[in-house]
Chains A and B, each alone.
Chain A
Amino acid sequence: MSEVTGAKALFLALEAVGVEHIFGIPGGAILPAYDPLIDSTVKHILCRHEQGAAHAADGYAQASGKVGVCMATSGPGATNLITGLASSFMDSIPVVAITGQVPRPAMGYDAFQESDITGIAAPVTKHTFLVMEPEDIAQTIAEAFHIAGTGRPGPVLVDIPKDVLQAKFEYKPAGPIELPGYQPTSKPNHRQVVEAAKLISQSERPVLYAGGGIIKAGASKELVQLAEMTGIPVVTTLMARGVMPDSHPLCLGMPGMHGNYTAVTALQRSDLLIGIGPRFDDRVTGKLSSFAPEAKVIHADIDPAEIGKNRKADVPIVGDAKAVLIELIKTIESRRAKDPQPDFSQWRDTVNEWKAKYPYKYTQTGNGPLKPQYVVERLAALTDGNAIYCAGVGQHQMWGSQFIPFRRPRTWINSGGSGAMGFGVPAAMGAKVAMPEDEVWCIDGDGCFQMTCQELATMAVERIPVKIAIINNAYLGMVRQWQELFYDERYSEVEFGWDIPDYVKLAEAYGCIGLRVESMEDVDTAIEKARGVNDRPVVIDFRCDPREMCYPMVAAGSSNDDIILGPEFEADKVEHEKGDHLYSQDEEMVID
């Protein structure tokens, strides 16, 4: 092969690993890369902000399971990616970010648009590379994609100085991956799996605690199989919504701070938690010392560092969720003759009683204010739970997770661990690019929407017909809720107002269709109208009740036993079953 530039080598390498789409914005240091892009099979989506590009790459990866790619220039271009990379890191989403760097001779001299992006990104990525020789480009790209997509997935940043992109050299494709310090374990230890099977056979009130790892491993089928063969109920965390259909009789839905009573309480009363790919996040455990006080714990995760990090595991299993589930199913089957076969029907009855008694509840009256839950519920019903639903962060996100009856994995895309407001719009763009045949909705808040709505321009120009339902409650709703509950209703700097901006005009200015809904009778019409548009994005401004709060709620630092069901249940004088409070009551870190 004749000589190529580093930039050309970059695209040859990206094509070699199968990249089809890149979300990015050009600038000084990355400029050389934008020339060979013209001749490449890789399609570039020109975003309006690098944060949008990073979230789009995340949404792309979450929807498809493929590695998402974003690209930016040095300095501010690169630092604008950080919020997105941090979100991908917390949620274990495979993303590769490519950044331009100032030329090698200028590095370290505070050159124009220079920043130490490999240093800045290191704490929020799985790995960072700085490519100092053009000959290393192909190998580095191959390694970056390998690291991002295998083991516990995550973002990887590749920084390439401008003169490395410009240098001409003899191109050689990447060789075999040689990363002596990176050997993820995917196959579970059989003895540990046997121990897990034994614990299950000895349990009375087991719960399958399904985490995001199952979605990444593509192990939905195996999860459902295990649940059905054992009759064990399943909770699906925020990052695992859709991993099992919500309509399944064994599916209890979401646990956690705004999870439903049944899922929260099933974990609390359980005598065995079978965690497959969760991380015992504070949003799920509530006050850790009082979390599931009677439960033994089986914790399977591909990342050994997660096991025992927050809660001690009685049976730790390091491995890929799919491999673990397959092995566990086989082991339970082969030990049928040996192990007792417990009947969990009494436990299921208890759980089902809770389910019937304490569902998610809200009241929409015909002439009263529009309730956000009603909007989400209608949206889910009209799309038959079959769309891909993205969300920002806040009340609307929780209502989305609560009121959409998910049918399949990779249809609920949000920023779980990081809680990055502004995630929804660009993530929906990424999801739609990855899955053009799917209907993609973004359920957004008015606060979130205003953080990244410039990507409407990208979608209008690129004809990416995403539908956006703004739950416009005129406030930073979740912050308002906390001020109402925990700061004596002293509202401080939370009101955005319904009218500014005019979301309909804003949508139109961006070349999208804008609709406004102020009462319940117009909800269906607007959603149906949006569903009929397939050549540009649609934004619906749902003007919702600012006073509506998200329940149930476990206040930060509280025990899951102290779940607040909210005003809908006040009349019932709920005597929800409390724990024995055997656990320590001493002060513990509170994560607000």
Chain B
Amino acid sequence: MKHTIAVLVENKPGVLSRVSGLFARRGFNIHSLAVGTTESANVSRMTIVVDLPERPLEHVTKQLYKLINVLKVIELEPDSSVERELMLIKVRAVAEVRARIIELTEIFRGKVIDVGTDAMTVEVTGSPEKIHSFEDLIAVYGIIELVKSGRVALSRGSKSIKDRQLRVAG
């Protein structure tokens, strides 16, 4: 089962490798991992999608809390959070199909951000499902390359991750 978790960490060298190393050695599969700065300069936030076929998510959160640089871990349930992913996709676009690609991009509220003689690069943002269906539909024209940001997510409503109670004390 896939879970989306948000992890606040101290913005210190080596933290990403501590977190990813923990996932690797404990056998927790990372589906995607996105990391960036937050409203506090000394705190970074990771959004990790973890695939756990057999174990409860609690095993992951408890192990994460054991890392000294991890400040907070919460699960973002799909129903009570917003999730987005960004994809840049370069497709073959000879003159005859260009209009169809642009049309498809508009339907998905994407943007054409680069055009060459026989290729176009499109930016699409949205839920992982939306990104996935766009990728499926555009594939017929020939995907040259693509990149995804990994999922990022926030809980709905006015509360922040910092307002949530710790699930377990570290």
Contacts and interface: CB of A to CB of B under 8 A. Distances in A.
Nearest to B56: A308
Given A184-B170, A318-B168, A123 B21 contact: yes
B99 interface: no
Q: Which of A127, A183, A304 has the most CB of B within 10 A?
A: A304
Interface stretch (A61-69, A174-182, A364-372, A379-387): A174-182
Given A180-B71, A305-B63, A185 B17 contact: no
B100 interface: no
A335 interface: no
B68 A181 contact: yes
Interface string B11-33: 00110011001000100000000
Nearest to A307: B62
A119 interface: yes
> Size class of A's contact patch?
20 to 34
A184 B71 CA distance: 12
A244 interface: no
B165 to A, nearest CB: 13
A465 B71 CA distance: 47
B66 interface: yes
Contacts of A130: 13-14
Nearest to B64: A305
Contacts of A180: 10, 71
Contacts of A185: 169
Nearest to B70: A181
A123 B59 CA distance: 17
A304 B68 contact: no
Interface string B62-96: 11011111110000000000000000000000000
A9 interface: no
A128 B63 CA distance: 16
> Size class of B's contact patch?
20 to 34
Contacts of B10: 180-181
A509 interface: no
B58 interface: yes
A309 B170 contact: no
B69 A181 contact: yes
B169 A181 contact: no
Interface string A112-154: 0000001100110011101000000000000000010000000
Nearest to A187: B169
Nearest to B55: A309
B8 to A, nearest CB: 9
A304 B70 CA distance: 15
Interface string B126-170: 000000000000000000000000000000000000000000111
Contact of A123 (B25, B168, B170): B25
A305 B169 contact: no
Q: Which of B25, B59, B68 has the most CB of A within 10 A?
A: B68
Interface string B38-57: 00000000000000000010
A271 interface: no
B99 to A, nearest CB: 51
Given A183-B170, A184-B170, A305 B66 contact: yes
Contact of B169 (A126, A128, A318): A318
B21 A122 contact: yes
Contacts of B66: 126, 303, 305
A128 B67 CA distance: 10
B14 A305 contact: no
Contact of A147 (B17, B25, B68, B168): B68
A130 B63 CA distance: 22
A358 B114 CA distance: 80
B65 A304 contact: yes
A183 B62 CA distance: 13
B68 A179 contact: yes
B25 A119 contact: no
B68 A305 contact: no
A438 B65 CA distance: 39
A318 B170 CA distance: 10
A153 to B, nearest CB: 13
Contacts of A182: 68, 170
A305 B65 contact: yes
A181 B58 CA distance: 18
A299 B61 CA distance: 19
A303 B67 CA distance: 12
Contacts of A128: 14
Nearest to A312: B56
Contacts of A126: 66, 68
A304 B69 contact: no
A147 B68 CA distance: 9
Contacts of B65: 304-305
A181 B67 contact: yes
Q: Which of A127, A130, A180 has the most CB of B within 10 A?
A: A180
A184 B169 contact: yes
A384 to B, nearest CB: 41
Contacts of A305: 59, 62-63, 65-66
Contact of B17 (A122, A179, A183, A184): A122
A191 to B, nearest CB: 15
Nearest to B59: A309
B164 to A, nearest CB: 15
Interface string A473-516: 00000000000000000000000000000000000000000000
A495 B4 CA distance: 53
A147 B69 CA distance: 12
Contacts of B13: 130
Contacts of A303: 66
Contacts of B169: 183-185, 304, 318
Contacts of A181: 9-10, 67-71, 170
Contacts of B67: 181
13 contacts: A122-B17, A123-B21, A126-B68, A128-B14, A181-B9, A181-B10, A181-B67, A183-B169, A184-B169, A304-B62, A304-B65, A304-B170, A308-B59
Given A182-B68, A305-B62, 7 more contacts: A119-B17, A122-B14, A123-B21, A127-B68, A179-B68, A185-B169, A304-B65
Interface of A: 118-119, 122-123, 126-128, 130, 147, 179-185, 303-305, 308-309, 318
